[in-house]
Amino acid sequence: MASKYVYFFGGDKTEGDASMKMSLGGKGANLAEMAKIGIPVPPGFTITCQACSEYRMLGTFPEGVMDEVREKTRMIEEVTGRAFGGIEKPLLLSVRSGAPISMPGMMDTVLNLGLSSKTVEAMMDGGRDGRFVYDSYRRLIQMFGNVVMGIAHDAFESILLQLRREVGAERDIDLTAEHLEELIRRYREKYREKIGEEFPEDPAFQLEQTIRAVFDSWDNQRAVTYRKLNNIPDDLCTAVNVQMMVFGNMAERSGTGVAFTRHPATGEDVFYGEYLMNAQGEDVVAGIRTPQPLNDINRIHDDQQTLEELMPEVYKELEQIRLKLDRHFADMQDLEFTIEEGKLYILQTRSGKRTALAAVKIALDYLDKGMIDEKTALSRIETTFIDQLLHPRIDPATSYSVAAVGLPAAPGAAVGQAVLDAETAERWASGGKKVILVRNETTPEDIGGMNAAQGILTALGGMTSHAALVARGMGKPCIVGCSAIHINLDSRTVKIGEARIKEGDFLTLAVGEKGEVVLGELPLVEAGFDESFIRLLGIADRHRRLRVRANAETVKDTKQAREFGAEGIGLCRTEHMFFEGDRIVAFRRMILAPTERQRRTALDQLLPLQQADFEGIFEVMDGLPVTIRLLDPPLHEFLPHLREEMGEVSQVLGVTVEDLKEKVESLRELNPMLGHRGCRLCITFPEICEMQTRAIIGAAINVKRRGIDVRPEIMVPLVGHVNEFVHLERVIREVADEMMKSSGVELEYLLGTMIEVPRAALTAGEIAARAEFFSFGTNDLTQMGFGFSRDDIGSFLPDYLRKEILPVDPFQELDRDGIGKLVEMACRLGREARPDLKLGICGEHGGDPSSIEFCHRVGLDYVSCSPFRVPIARLAAAQAAIKEQEEK
Amino acid sequence: MASKYVYFFGGDKTEGDASMKMSLGGKGANLAEMAKIGIPVPPGFTITCQACSEYRMLGTFPEGVMDEVREKTRMIEEVTGRAFGGIEKPLLLSVRSGAPISMPGMMDTVLNLGLSSKTVEAMMDGGRDGRFVYDSYRRLIQMFGNVVMGIAHDAFESILLQLRREVGAERDIDLTAEHLEELIRRYREKYREKIGEEFPEDPAFQLEQTIRAVFDSWDNQRAVTYRKLNNIPDDLCTAVNVQMMVFGNMAERSGTGVAFTRHPATGEDVFYGEYLMNAQGEDVVAGIRTPQPLNDINRIHDDQQTLEELMPEVYKELEQIRLKLDRHFADMQDLEFTIEEGKLYILQTRSGKRTALAAVKIALDYLDKGMIDEKTALSRIETTFIDQLLHPRIDPATSYSVAAVGLPAAPGAAVGQAVLDAETAERWASGGKKVILVRNETTPEDIGGMNAAQGILTALGGMTSHAALVARGMGKPCIVGCSAIHINLDSRTVKIGEARIKEGDFLTLAVGEKGEVVLGELPLVEAGFDESFIRLLGIADRHRRLRVRANAETVKDTKQAREFGAEGIGLCRTEHMFFEGDRIVAFRRMILAPTERQRRTALDQLLPLQQADFEGIFEVMDGLPVTIRLLDPPLHEFLPHLREEMGEVSQVLGVTVEDLKEKVESLRELNPMLGHRGCRLCITFPEICEMQTRAIIGAAINVKRRGIDVRPEIMVPLVGHVNEFVHLERVIREVADEMMKSSGVELEYLLGTMIEVPRAALTAGEIAARAEFFSFGTNDLTQMGFGFSRDDIGSFLPDYLRKEILPVDPFQELDRDGIGKLVEMACRLGREARPDLKLGICGEHGGDPSSIEFCHRVGLDYVSCSPFRVPIARLAAAQAAIKEQEEK
């Protein structure tokens, strides 16, 4: 049996439904579903992703596809009573991409197919408004020329601008039918000049070429980049939706709009949308004209006219459809509609992009209504949303004057240097600068720059413009439609209200409710939780198996971590404690001591300070485990390296500059990452290990006497050979035993090790025979496993990502195939040797959702991450558990 | 059944035999064997290693041991008709250690047990010479006091010296019976003073305490060090041999000696040995008196009297015994004999230490006589011998004057600074100096210093002295018994013949046949092969499965390698070729080029030079594979780093010093080992890869046209992810295909990769799907697997070895448990993906015998090492194969 490549939709002849997303794409499946449940959808058909996939492999259409296209085109003709390429009642078609995963604006679209000089004349004869017909035709020439034939967009735009200048038309809409006739002449001339052929008159040819172009657009550069940024597989492919054109720009009672079935920023169950009269849908999305609110919900100024006021019956029908769609899909929908001479059509519905706040509110609302279960609710909260909820705000204590306001398109606050194009944004950001991207509007070409920026500010566009949608997805603060800014690309300056700034000057975006733009840098503070967020994380906690701990070494961070729901400290880096105040002096004295005795004297000074630190942390973490890592970094990190500094330090320490320099020199290493650090230090200087053990056990004894439930875990770093652990185990146990004996306080404590050296993973069985827990240090494991110095990777990693040698930075997302194999091996060997071995991760991957999923699957007991990533980890752990169950 | 701990030997009551080495130790098993075949052995018994092992664990004698000792002592009494502790015919016993693996002089010995004031008196009454009896007794007190009770050797020695001074005796032998009686009085007083008790009179107590002390001596520091140096397991333990004393110092017709059943330096089938009249065996071995030759074989001066001349019948009996032992054991024996009043006793026989030259000659001789098979012959050649055969000699073109001569105890030649004690030798050597250890005699305490020295020179001792035995074992050039040197430890000077040198002055040892000491530094040349050596390696080749290749990048080294039997080049490091002459200028120009075009121009200059290099190597390796590695080190290694140098280089290159400095700075890396190097360079700069491919393929095409059978293998370094390989594979194959096409020459070449990054080993299956061979770069694999920077390991590795955290430097001997696991995994995964995958190793472990054994077991196809280690690798590969077969 030959494959079926094309599915019809429209009333009761509809062939597909919402379950067929992988085949029909998100848009096509939802069009079919809408048609099925009686929503007024312009009839059309969807060419499947499989067809695109085979097309990509074959380099040409698979056999039969175009036959099916012709057959389904005839079905549209039947249903509508129009003829494609016909003279009387011509059927015009749109061709749009639609992948299984939404990639807004990344691929190509062509409208008004079926128009030709003949049909245009016929339509005019049939009484259609000349302006409308000519405008449709010039749009076809422009889109087909650009998308299908590759003529630069600017080639047509400059003709349009030139004509407007010639006839004194301020806006496109001011052009008369005659002007447009002239425009078409010039467009066709340009087309002939560029292509060497006349603009094609045959609608079947137009259609076939356009379908081909949309298939090809799957592999255009911006789509490829978008997929890489969003981890969308390249072989998914796009479907193509061919649909009867309906026109929002046909006449006075025509228009187009975009709406959400709920408020996309707050999640409230209200109808939220924008429309433009006498416009095509693209006009709204592209943000070229600023649209009007559908209703009072998002009316900002009194002079705005809502659709509810303008066309109450249409609005009422739309409102009913919004409810039907919202309840039917049980998720907030983002829908596109067109009103053609008073008749409403729904062109698209899809799950709508939303703010983190809205996502949480909406999910909980459906859950409370019994429309979805907890697992579905959790799955709908992207982990990046949490980051977004924890985004910085302007310090409330700050007063500032607002230079301009716009629409609050994506929440948060951002500070950075203004940059006026995406490329500059990327370049400056890669040089370590924080930038705010300031544009008239954004286009898909700007994705890279938006990603690189702290925030985005546009002069044009609405809440559903490209800038707004993409920024919300990225979790970047964004203000759109800020008409008070005027960008001058020649002088690289921006007029903001009354002020004028240069590119490179600082701006602050305070999105809030009002979308405020402020000159200069304002202080930011981290965001907190709201109640629904806390409730959601509570639900997540019921579904996860992985425990979540935090990395912290101060009482402040420990408190923060516990507030965020951390179930212990997974990594307390003791060396951080040595940098404060006088401690660094004692620590340096220890390093410079020529004898063990003098080292011990210096360490004795540090002991009470470090012990007090541990007591503070133990108190906050009452009842929860605290893993303390022994000294890890190489000693030279504690010494000054600059000449000026040395003089000062040598005075404080009472040594000569020469002695100090000599010591610094003697500690210098060619590859410090692989040098004298971690447990290697404690083996050379067991007195350091003794002091730290004394501080930990002493602190634990003290707080236990005060009634605290203390659960210390002592962690030996950088073990590569079991003998290293055994050697230090003896030192630690002896000190601990003696202290417990002399104090009369019995403590339970664990003694374990980091697994961060590949050899430790390979010999994990031997190590687990002695160690009571493993904590994977995946930063170092990645460094050594890949042979990548994290400090030096900048010279080739960008090239590696660009050339697709690596799919992703392995320091951001754990490499499952290689480094993950070491982790798996260590877990297996470790548990074989000690079934109750406690397993955790404390590298930065512990806060990365994909890595957390891996940790879940490999059977770790906990992940540990920075306090601010604890909520993300809680959700990611729940999602990992849910995903695993679903796969079973 | 209770364990049997004690085995009797002596005539037909003998219980053990030579096969029981693991239980009775080497000495005990051979004593039993000798007794069985009718060799005159003083009767005695052996306490097993198992007894020692249990003693170590229990901390006391295992039950029944001392009962067995008493029973076997009674058997000696029966056989000899003497009584232990008896007044009439007292039986005196010796107690000696004897481990399964020989550890000469490392453990303790006590002689003359059974003497007491009562037996001494009785013996005197029985007509024994008073001098002899008193001397025996004072030796017992001294040895028992030192070995069993821990009184410092010097405490007794200083009493002896003092007495000699008082009575004007130049040598010990000049002391009269009366003097010795006084000496005993003072010794006993010293004993009482140190121990607080009288010297024990009870022989049973003496025996038990001595056995305990000998067991304990297994764990003394020098024995532990020796075992570590020689990879002898700690849990092997020692047996204890208790034997009737016979006396070489009893009277005029008494003496003692050490002999080899063949010439230990040349391997000739002659009787070779030394003796001392009126002396105990210890006097010969300790090198305190210079012994006389047994026969004309090693007579050097006419005034020496041979045993053959002095006691022809005894010599004849000894000569018969030597033949019997040599043929019975089918290996050269090192035997100890004592003549007691004209009666010959053999005290010990064991496989004798020999020079490399002798080892080869002897093994081939037994093989030719049909007494051993090829496998046995090969097993008897230690791989270190080959190193020794390849030891340097004095450049034959050099003329020099000899300052002094001594005995040529161990072959070779050495140059270094004179040092006068072992500790200085170790210290200076660890500081990078080459030293010659100059001593009156060496003792087991000197082992470390001997190991650290280039060569050893002693004033005293013979060819079988401690210094001679140990140096031969170590393969260190050594001259002993050089009476023309006088060491002054106070002024730290040495008089050598007429000259006087200071510690730190240079000396040359030219051992040769004459044992020449030369002042200053002479030029050395590498040694070559002799025919029997070539024959032996030919035999080895028949028994090995592993191929042996060499690492080389010059025509000279390639020729050398082929001469040594290399079967290909396993690693040609192309970067070495960039350092020569003008090439470095072009290479630096390439690095500094701001554009790809300028880089290509600079590379074009290098292309013909590199191609010519490859042609030279291909020609020498006609018919054999040559593996060429693409550029590996980071670029900054090619740039100057010192200020002075920069000025010069910037002028040559025509760039400013600032630009040069900036480039050097921009290439600086925190951890260059994990930085921008290996294939990462070629991915960033594909033009380098293209040029190198062009040079390799171009060279191959040229030599093939000249009729050479060329087998190039292109190797991509530092691959960690299959995509890196795939990316460069495309570049390389394209260049190669195009060159073959345009030249019309079809080449077979392989394209493979190093496995030196842990991740590559972990994902070897994916990589092998594309790579045609793997070559393990175990240096980097060890660095990354352990997280040890080879350049920085000096700060903690010595500590790690001392504290026994690591058994051995993992860069010298491949770590089988950890790094070896990665190698095994890569082999398994690789062969699963590509059954005909070629596997090799090109790290420095490729020349280390233990690592070669691992490579054999893990199924590699070849090892590759430096040309001078190729012969070692050939033998080690054969031994690995033989060992494996034996285990099956």
DSSP code per residue over B458-495: ESS--TTSHHHHHHHHHT--EEE--TTEEEETTTTEEE
Residue B396 — very low, low, confident or very high, per pLDDT cuts 50/70/90?
low
Structural domain of A95: 6-244
Sequential DSSP letters for A150-218 = ---HHHHHHHHHHHHHHHT-SSGGG--HHHHHHHHHHHHHHHHHHHSSPPP--HHHHHHHHHHHHHHGG
Say how many C-beta atoms besides its own lie within 10 A of residue A706's C-beta.
Answer: 11
Terminal-to-terminal C-alpha distance of chain A: 32
Determine the 3-state secondary structure of A483 from DSSP: coil
User: Is B221 inside any structural domain?
Assistant: yes
B675 closest CB neighbour out of A758, A780, A789: A789
Alpha carbon separation from B590 to A795, B409, B594, B602, B717 (Å, rounded): 17, 55, 9, 5, 20
| Residue B686 pLDDT exceeds 60 | yes
Does a structural domain hold residue A531? no
The residue that leads in pLDDT, A640 or B761, is B761
Q: What is d(CA A653, CA A658) in angstroms, rounded to the nearest whole number?
A: 13
Q: Are B216 and B276 contained in the same domain? A: no
DSSP symbols for B97-151: EE-SS--TTTS-EEEEET--HHHHHHHHHTT--HHHHHHHHHHHHHHIIIIIT--
Does residue A818 sit at the B interface (CB-CB below 8 Å)?
A: yes
Specify whether the CB–CB gap between A337 and A344 falls below 8 A. Answer: yes
CATH code assigned at B153:
3.30.1490.20
Indicate whether B537 belongs to any domain: no
Does residue A558 share a domain with residue A465? no
Long-range contacts of A151-157 (CB under 8 A, 24+ apart): A151/A190, A151/A191, A151/A194, A151/A195, A155/A190, A155/A194, A156/A187, A156/A190
Contact residues, chain A, for B762 at CB < 8 Å: 785, 817-818, 821-822
Q: For B691-740, what is each residue's pLDDT tens digit?
A: 999 999 999 999 999 999 999 999 999 999 999 999 999 999 999 999 99
Q: Which of A184, A214, A244 is the last residue of a domain?
A: A244
Burial readout B548-560 (b: 16 or more C-beta within 10 A, e: otherwise): bbbbbbbeebbbb
The reply to whether residue A785 touches residue B762, judged by beta carbons under 8 angstroms, is yes
Respond yes or no: is residue A466 known to be catalytic.
yes
Residues A18, A112 within the same domain? yes
B506 in A contact zone (CB under 8 Å): no
* Residue A650 is assigned to a structural domain of this protein: no
Q: Tell me if residue A842 is catalytic.
A: yes
Of A179, A263, A391, A466, the catalytic one is A466
- Boundary-marking domain end, from A224, A244, A264: A244
Predicted structure pTM score: 0.78
d(CA A629, CA A621): 16
Q: Say yes or no: A196 and A294 in one domain.
A: no
Q: Which residue of chain A has the CA closest to B724?
A: A805
Residue B656 included in any domain: no
Residues 71-130 in A contacting B (C-alpha not used; CB under 8 Å): none
B211 at A interface, C-beta within 8 A = no
Helices vs strands, H then E, count in chain A: 34, 33
Q: Is residue B580 part of a domain?
A: no
Tell me: do B180 and B305 sit in the same domain: no
Lowest-confidence segment of A205-214, A868-877, B288-297, B770-779 by average pLDDT: B288-297
Residue A780: closest CA among chain B residues belongs to which residue?
B787
End-to-end CA distance of chain B: 32
d(CA A386, CA A374): 17
Residues A263 and A239 in one domain: no
Residues of B in contact with A784 (CB under 8 A): 674, 758, 784-785, 787
Task: Please list every residue in chain B whose beta carbon sits closer than 8 Å to the beta carbon of residue A718.
Answer: 787
Q: Is the pLDDT of residue B149 over 70?
A: yes
Count the Cβ atoms, other than its own, within 10 Å of residue A370.
8
Do residue B630 and residue B718 come from a single domain?
A: yes
Kindly provide the ipTM of the predicted complex, given to two decimals.
0.77
Q: Which of B878, B814, B807 is nearest to B841 (CA)?
A: B814
pLDDT of residue A389: 77
In this predicted model, what pLDDT tens digit does every residue of A789-831 receive, in sequence order? 887 887 788 789 888 899 888 988 999 999 999 999 999 999 9
| Residues sharing a CB contact under 8 Å with residue A317, sequence separation 6 or more, in sequence order | A344
Q: Number of CB pairs < 8 Å for A and B? A: 173
Residue A1, domain member (yes or no): no
Beta bridge partners of A773: A838
Contact A514, A482 (CB under 8 A): no
- Rounded CA gap, B764 and B827, in Å? 8
What percent of chain A is helix, strand and coil (3-state, nearest 5)? 50, 15, 35
The CATH number that applies at residue A511 is 3.50.30.10
Q: Tell me if B191 sits within 8 A of B141, measured CB to CB.
A: yes
Who has greater pLDDT, B488 or A579?
Answer: B488
Q: Are residues A97 and A22 in the same domain?
A: yes
- Looking at the structure, tell me whether residues A345 and A427 fall in a common domain: no
Split at pLDDT 50, 70, 90, the class of B81 is very high
User: A819 — contact with chain B (CB < 8 Å)?
Assistant: yes
CA distance B239 to B9: 14
- For chain A, say whether B431 makes contact (Cβ under 8 Å): no
- Over residues B870-879, the mean pLDDT reads 95
| pLDDT given for residue B578 in this prediction | 85
Quote the number of domains for chain B. 4
Q: Which neighbouring-strand residues pair with B510?
A: B413, B516
> Under DSSP, is residue A508 helix (H, G, I), strand (E, B) or coil?
strand
The secondary element (H helix, E strand) that includes residue B394 is strand B393-394
Say if residue A233 is in the same domain as residue A308. Answer: no
Q: How many CB atoms lie within 10 A of CB B696?
A: 29
Report the SS3 class of residue A604: helix
pLDDT attached to residue A1:
42
Q: Is B378 on the interface with A (CB under 8 A)?
A: no
A759: nearest CB among B674, B680, B818: B818
Q: Annotation-wise, does A756 bind a ligand?
A: yes
In this prediction, residues B351-374 reach a mean pLDDT of: 92
Position A185 in a domain: yes
- DSSP state, residue B18: G
Residues A731 and A710 in one domain: yes
What is the rounded average pLDDT for all residues in chain B?
Answer: 91
10 Å CB burial of residue B579 (0-12, 13-18, 19+) is exposed
Cβ distance of B674 and A787 shorter than 8 Å: yes
Q: According to the annotation, is B843 in a ligand binding site? A: no
Beta partners for residue A242, in sequence order? A45, A95
Mutate to test the interface with A, among B665, B680, B779 (most CBs of A within 10 A): B680
CB B104 within 8 A of CB B281: no
Do A796 and B673 count as a contact with CB atoms less than 8 A apart? no
Write down the H helix ranges in B336-465: 356-368, 374-379, 383-389, 422-430, 447-452
Residue whose entry in the numeric block shows the structure tokens 């509609």: A337
Give the amino acid at B47. I
> What CATH number has the domain bearing residue A290?
3.30.470.20
CATH code assigned at A813: 3.20.20.60
pLDDT averaged over 10-residue windows placed end to end, chain A, 888 residues: 84 91 94 96 96 93 94 95 88 94 86 90 81 90 94 91 90 87 95 94 94 94 84 91 90 89 90 89 69 88 90 96 96 94 92 86 96 96 79 76 86 92 92 92 82 91 74 78 88 91 94 87 76 93 97 90 95 85 86 90 94 97 98 89 80 86 84 94 95 98 97 98 96 97 96 98 98 96 94 82 87 94 98 97 90 97 90 96 92
Domain end residue (candidates: A305, A330, A354):
A354
Torsion over CA: A230, A233, A234, A240 (sign): negative
Q: Which amino acid is at B803?
A: K
d(CA A595, CA A607): 18
Same domain assignment for residues A797 and A738: yes
φ, ψ of residue B273 in degrees (nearest 5): -175, 180
Nearest to A674 among B727, B757, B787 (CB): B787
DSSP-derived 3-state class of residue B229: helix
